[in-house]
Structure 1
Amino acid sequence: NFADAYQIDKEGKSAYDINSDNGTIQMVSADLSKRETVCTGIRFPVAMAFNREGDLFCTEQEGATWLPNGNPLDELLHIPLDGSGPNNKPSTKRHFGFPPRHPRHNPDVIDEPSTFDYAPQHQSTCGMVFNEPVNGGPVFGPESWAGDAIVCGESRGKLWRTKLVRTPSGYVATSQLFACLQMLTVDACVAPDGDLIVACHSGPPDWGTGPTGIGKLFRIQMEQPEAARPVATWAEGPQEIRIAFDHPLDVTELRQLTERIRIEHGEYVRAGDRFENLMPPYAAVQAQLIKPRFALPVTGTSVTSDMRTLIINTAPMRSNDYFAVTVPMQSELDVDFALHGVEARWTPAKGNPTPAWSGWLPHADLTVAKAMLAASAGHEALWTALEQPGTLTLRSKLNLHNILRPAIQPGASIDYEWPAEEAIVTFGSDHGIVLQASRATDASQPVTEIAVVCDQSNVEWQLATFRTSADVTDPVDVVVAMRTGDGTIPRLTASVQTNEDSSLRPLQLHRFLLPWVDVNTKSDSTTFAEFPKIAELEGGSWARGRKVFRSEAASCYKCHSVGSGGARIGPDLVNLVHRDFASVMRDVANPSFGINPDYIGHVIALNDGRVLTGVLQTDGDQLLLGDEKGTVTKLSKSDIESMAASKT
């Protein structure tokens, strides 16, 4: 019974029977002669489908309205068909949390975590289809979307594209919202011509106008295959957001971008919130709507020289919120991200001329990271470098709270206490690894080092393991270092098990927090008021800096101004005080890395045969071309034979 899971009678006894067919997925033989239970604890599955690997997935709707910890979020579940249960016992079945484990009513189960949660609460995941060709036709959308799960959120009119990456311990998923509809979005399928056909129902959530109501079919087409589409969004640092695109951006759409970008953050903030017109009738949804949303100031923008990555400089981000970014281009683009991920740094071995690389990864498992960043041009240098001699160092904070404990709906409580839970985290690699783990449970206490056990008995696959309490909310700081360089990208995996269940499970993306995130910082109006002191600038001389800026040797003043009244060939540098030290130093050392979209270089061929390069500005009807020496050439449009944006 999806509304009364434990079926408790007047005497307080539960009639729930885990051996019944209710709340299970059944596998029926081809000749219909027999059937068997595949799993239990399923509440309201609407869609089931096999991916290209032959693995079964299903959508599962939240149940916390009926039980405080009974599937608080809508889920995508991976349903293993190998017969393995908790503690790898074939005699037990995996239980997916409805009803959840209870010391009296349901004591002998382990609540299986989901593969992906669709949040905030009350999305009502319904239809799902894997994005595969039909009758030899194309997939829906760009080729990089092939094989992804397209999931429908019925109650709020959502369509997500969920990428699933298989690991030895299970699937890791990431998801991107790509459409918001104004009707209840029930199901979708890929047509033979590659279009997406979406079935919608009329009326309000949850159930609309019922079985006699009018529905509609919509066709979603990709009209511009070469248009730049976002493939990943992340925080590169406390004051820098990056959005990677699968194709080069259109230069003409990037003018005055700093003034036009909008960023909001908060606990329930997501991309596309402004398009929502369907509100499920639940108190939890009303609580989400009145939760504060905060604006994050934008201090600058630039694009990489290949025009594939947009860089947004912001006020400091510290709170563990979700951030939604609206980028006004030809059609406004909405993306979101949280401060999740891994800080990566690769340094070449002595004598190796390959440049060092540093940046963000979504996960410590390199197979997962590479699959999720397949269309990110800025990460291609890392995959090449990992084949060369050097050292890769990963840093992150691991959130290990409640590994096998279902979340409790906000404002609710349960009438029992869980036994102590320990998380056992294992990193494995074919290149040998060094692992450090520590935890600070109190700001007034010193950091506690966590013992790491290394297993090098198998030289081809070495393990490093630590165990710690999963009952506390404080994350574990981890540093993983490994040698690279045998012509292949090294394998690195990350998995978790607990003291109650030895089965290995993957660490999902939300378990990784960036190392600079303060998990205790709350979102409020003062969160971004204080800028941290920069050690490298302590004791610096403003007067000496001004002297260098205006010197002939540096010649900065010929192109840039600091405030009004200076040169206009390059960007005004007055906003650099809002940037972080590392990104400013990067732009000084490598000016071509990030190019301000208002100062894109151009190559101009003139009618008289001359070819000029520089930054193009307008002054009334005239064009002003400023070159690297600070010289400004005045041009008329009639003087120009051809003009193209430069890549440097």
Structure 2
Amino acid sequence: MNRYTILFANVLAAFATCTLPAQPVGSIEVRRETVEKVPPIQMLAPGFSVRELPLNLKNINNLVYAPDGRLFALGYNGVVYQLKDTDGDGLEDTATLFFANKPEQILPSIGMCWGPGGLYIASRGRVIRLKDKGDGTGELETIAKDWVKPTGMAGSGLDAIGIAVDQQGNVFFGLGCDDWHEAYRVNKETGKSDYNIHSDRGTVQKLSSDFKTHEAICTGIRFTISMAFNANGDLFATDQEGATWLPNGNPFDELLHIQPGRHYGFPPRHPKYLPNVIDEPSVFDYAPQHQSTCGLHFNERLANGKNVFGPSWWQGDALVSGESRGKIWRTKLVKSAAGYVAQTELIACLNMLTIDSIPTPQGDLLVTCHSGKPDWGTGPEGEGKLFKISYTDKMAPQPVFAYASSPTETRVIFDRPLDPGKLKNLAKLSSITMGRYVGAGDRFESFQPGYQAVKDQNEVPRFNLPVLTGGLSSDNRSLVLLTASRKEAVNYGVQLPEGESAERTHDGSRHEMPQQSAIDVLSDLSGVEVEWRAASGKEKWSGWLPHLDLSVAKGFTEASEEHKHLFGLLKRPGKLTLRSQLDMGLMLHPKTQPGAKLDYEYPPEMVTVVFKSDAKLKLKSGANVKVRRMNDKELEITTMPKADQWVPIEISLMTGECEPKIDVSWFTAEDSRPRPLQLRRMLMPWATPHAEELQQVTERRIPEIVGGDWQRGKKVFYGEQAACFKCHQVAGVGGKIGPDLSNLPQRDYASVYKDITEPSAAINPDHLAYNIELKSGEAVTGVILEDTVDGLVIGQATGQSITVAKNQIASRKASSISLMPEGLLQGLSNQQRKDLLTFLLVESAKQAKN
């Protein structure tokens, strides 16, 4: 392999032997900071322009293209629009009503797609088809209903959620879990679980193409916010984090490959309550905790369009939207013999709640954002915005990925040659930040959800890793940064200069929005050290691959010229050697939220990794690993892994006339089904585990409630003066009109205080208030607790409920404000406020201990 030539060998030697695992020499601890002016959308790679659509619409939940190129938008309020560009400037400027939703037939819904005959919507209590009438409007049909209702939320809450239609016309939709804050549904009288794995709840349903039958194809689902089929016809879904309510239930926001008969971990396996399931691992976890993954679309050509979004090698990638921090990710999926492996890059940071992002037939990306604050924004009547991201400079070199090739070298691979003239003062203008919770473009993350776990993440130390010098590879496609030695397996956020200007060039005449001039990528210490030697002894290649499975590695490196060269060499006679370390902890056991403790311990896992090739394999591993040779071309290693004790591995084989093959899969003693190794499971041979900082988090201290008394606060909560209990419950005691507050100890003080004092700043979709006008002229406002054939049960702000006959209703509309009135704390003394917030924010078990 042709290596770069840079005169820094002496600098390397000076730093190579004098570092500490957690803090390299010369590194400086830094605080997480946000730039002063965060752009509405900051692309983390060059070549993209951003424009806002000139439309004034309420918050939009879903964007859908019909096969003929028509664009539809589902409003949070149930209104469905067709969006059109009437002046040819590339921006949709007109919204016509495809379905006016008067009276309110479609309640607030998330999940819309195109299928035979029109638009399909997952809604509360039913699946809807808006049949395309051919005149620019749709006619509502109910194509599925009558499933088990959830027990754990008010009747206005989301029910069916996320939807996709396959090529045969079968409809797939999710039914949210039965009770998201009490997933096992433990019966207080019997102590046994009332969770029913055979229930419709917490499943993905398959509705036949004739709409006559539907069946559950998998279980253990929390909320499948979005679903989509990829080009292979495989179904994927985004599912949301649940560890706030169940410490090991969906510890992260997830991308799931939906497979029949699998259980996806909410609730997870439990020795007493749910002993006979296997928790299927996600394809990818969007970390750290609390991202709120929503929209999912695959980057394919639409409606006979000629382009995909971004460079051609982005085709087929999943585009995933993260609501509660304003993110868009690009996840590349490679299908191995054992299943899908994912590689994810953050491509955009936004300053609004990001709900959906869909590729357009023209090769742009259309994005819908909600106004308001996380987690829920301003609700159905809030004002939203739509943006279009365009790939305007197709000659701009795009970062493909970044990796650590040695303890002192970070390489960033680009898809075309860089201009050396634009890289003056490269080392001075580049920076690397290291830390457990470091991400790409962190300085553009302008808001976060108000959870204690997020606050704890921000408190974990991060350091600037000194960049000593930098340069280019001989083909100008690899940017190389030399740093002080680092071996700790944490995240490394790399910021690179894009040019001399602080801002990217943008065309005001096209209404392009400003962006900062910088390139941001994320690196870690995952990967495989690779060496190939020609049989003649005259040629050698050494470097890095992302995976031991060669088909997976090739799929992830297709845009890298240096790796194309490697795979060309592998067709020639020689010897290939791969070295790595395997992290085989918690293979089928989900992680537990930091600081939390389960009421049981996982049994040890016996893990087997299988290697298959078309050539004779040789393998070396650690002392506590059993190596079993099935035949010359198949080997297994079996071990009982321990926390932070990775398994060293070296694989070698002879190469020849065709490209070699190594298939990698794993199984455990609990479940023999083969699964693929995800990228994070393979670490460079010199990498060392990081310390789990949050496992040592000290007892939580909240300065604002010092002096508060939990027992007195309980009396305030259940007393008539504050009357919180009439609408809310804690630990199963209280009303159900408003959100259950049992999980507030997971939240931070500031966000809880704001929820009380500004209840309409973020409106919980499970507890939307409705303004209902009766034919008599009387108006009723409240949360819909039950929706039957004949009437509605309405929960009011007083905590009382009334029943309204449907034949007496003139109209109903989601309210733009919360049912919870403002000023509830004003009637309490300062001490009562402290006591109340102590009751809400301190766990009862800890209070009892104290």
Give the TM-score of the pair, scaled to structure 1: 0.75
How far 1:2 moved relative to its partner?
A: 2.0
In 2, Cα distance between the equivalents of 1:237 and 1:42? 40
- AA aligned to 2:570 is L
- AA aligned to 1:405 is H
In 1, Cα distance between the equivalents of 2:256 and 2:308? 23
> Where do residues 241-640 of structure 1 align in structure 2 (5 Å cutoff)?
241-330=410-499, 331-349=517-535, 351=536, 353=538, 355-438=539-622, 448-456=623-631, 462-486=633-657, 488-519=658-689
- AA aligned to 1:107 is P
1:44 pairs with one of 204, 209, 223: 223
Match of 2:791 in 1: none
Encode CA deviations 1:266-298: one digit per residue, 9 max, x unaligned: 000010110011110100000011111101011
Encode CA deviations 1:157-195: one digit per residue, 9 max, x unaligned: 000000000011110000000100000000011111111
- AA aligned to 1:437 is S
Is residue 400–residue 473 contact of structure 1 (8 Å, CA) maintained in 2? no
Encode CA deviations 1:198-237: one digit per residue, 9 max, x unaligned: 0100000000111111111100001101100100100010
Change (3 A) 1:184 1:509: same
Q: 3-state SS of the aligned residue for 2:457?
A: helix
Match of 1:533 in 2: none
Q: 3-state SS of the aligned residue for 1:111?
A: coil
Match of 1:226 in 2: 395
Match of 1:171 in 2: 340
In 1, Cα distance between the equivalents of 2:291 and 2:586? 23
> Where do residues 136-147 of structure 1 align in structure 2 (5 Å cutoff)?
136-137=304-305, 138-147=307-316
- AA aligned to 2:279 is D
Q: 3-state SS of the aligned residue for 2:602?
A: coil
In 1, Cα distance between the equivalents of 2:679 and 2:600? 29
Encode CA deviations 1:14-70: one digit per residue, 9 max, x unaligned: 211000000000111111121221100000111110100111100011000000100
In 2, Cα distance between the equivalents of 1:283 and 1:201? 24
How far 1:519 moved relative to its partner?
A: 1.8
Encode CA deviations 1:218-259: one digit per residue, 9 max, x unaligned: 000011011001001000100000000011112222001111
2:239 pairs with one of 36, 60, 74: 60
In 2, Cα distance between the equivalents of 1:40 and 1:247? 45
Match of 2:511 in 1: none
RMSD: 1.3
Match of 1:131 in 2: 299
How far 1:105 moved relative to its partner?
A: 1.0
- AA aligned to 2:262 is R
Is residue 165–residue 371 contact of structure 1 (8 Å, CA) maintained in 2? yes
Is residue 320–residue 521 contact of structure 1 (8 Å, CA) maintained in 2? no
Check if 1:4 corresponds to 2:182. Answer: yes
- AA aligned to 1:504 is P
Q: 3-state SS of the aligned residue for 1:395?
A: strand
How far 1:521 moved relative to its partner?
A: 6.8
- AA aligned to 1:29 is S
Higher relative contact order by CA 8 Å / sep ≥ 6: 1 or 2? Answer: 2
Is residue 202–residue 221 contact of structure 2 (8 Å, CA) maintained in 1? yes
How far 1:103 moved relative to its partner?
A: 1.0
In 1, Cα distance between the equivalents of 2:471 and 2:203? 52
Change (3 A) 1:519 1:341: same
Check if 1:196 corresponds to 2:362. Answer: no
- AA aligned to 2:280 is E
In 2, Cα distance between the equivalents of 1:471 and 1:267? 20
In 1, Cα distance between the equivalents of 2:220 and 2:246? 13
Q: 3-state SS of the aligned residue for 1:466?
A: strand
In 2, Cα distance between the equivalents of 1:227 and 1:128? 26
Encode CA deviations 1:429-452: one digit per residue, 9 max, x unaligned: 1112111110xxxxxxxxx25231
Q: 3-state SS of the aligned residue for 2:347?
A: strand
Is residue 362–residue 369 contact of structure 1 (8 Å, CA) maintained in 2? yes
Change (3 A) 1:311 1:183: same
- AA aligned to 1:143 is S
- AA aligned to 1:258 is A
Is residue 490–residue 690 contact of structure 2 (8 Å, CA) maintained in 1? no
Structure 2 unmatched runs, 5+: 1-178, 500-516, 694-850
- AA aligned to 1:406 is P
In 2, Cα distance between the equivalents of 1:335 and 1:312? 13
Match of 1:102 in 2: 270
Change (3 A) 1:521 1:188: closer
Change (3 A) 1:352 1:516: closer
Is residue 253–residue 290 contact of structure 2 (8 Å, CA) maintained in 1? yes
How far 1:473 moved relative to its partner?
A: 3.0
In 1, Cα distance between the equivalents of 2:329 and 2:626? 41
- AA aligned to 1:452 is V
Q: 3-state SS of the aligned residue for 1:505?
A: coil
Encode CA deviations 1:586-605: one digit per residue, 9 max, x unaligned: xxxxxxxxxxxxxxxxxxxx
In 2, Cα distance between the equivalents of 1:32 and 1:222? 40
In 2, Cα distance between the equivalents of 1:287 and 1:241? 28
- AA aligned to 1:221 is S
Encode CA deviations 1:349-377: one digit per residue, 9 max, x unaligned: 1x365x21000000001111111111111
Match of 1:441 in 2: none
Match of 2:42 in 1: none
How far 1:520 moved relative to its partner?
A: 5.6
Give the TM-score of the pair, scaled to structure 2: 0.58
Match of 1:550 in 2: none
* Percentage of pairs with the same residue: 50
- AA aligned to 2:561 is A
Q: 3-state SS of the aligned residue for 1:369?
A: helix
Q: Which runs of 4+ in 1 moved over 6 A?
A: none
Is residue 399–residue 473 contact of structure 1 (8 Å, CA) maintained in 2? yes
How far 1:9 moved relative to its partner?
A: 2.6
Is residue 230–residue 298 contact of structure 2 (8 Å, CA) maintained in 1? yes
How far 1:380 moved relative to its partner?
A: 2.0
